[in-house]
Amino acid sequence: MAENDFHKTSSIDQCQVIELDKHHHANGNLSVVENGAQIPFDIKRVYYLYDVPGGEERGGHSHKQLRQFMVAISGSFDVIIDDGVHQRCVTLNRPYMGLLIVPGIWRVINNFSSGSVCLVMASNHYNEDDYVRDYEEFKKLTSSKI
> Residues 23, 25, 61, 125: which is the catalytic one?
61
Choose among 119, 10, 117: nearest CA to 63.
10
In Å, what is the CA distance from 69 to each residue of 42, 100, 137? 11, 4, 24
H helices of the chain, where?
5-9, 135-142
The answer to whether residue 23 is catalytic is no
Choose among 44, 126, 140: nearest CA to 84.
140
By the 8 A CB rule, do 31 and 95 touch?
yes
Cβ neighbours of 80 (radius 10 Å): 18
Q: Which amino acids are annotated catalytic?
A: 61
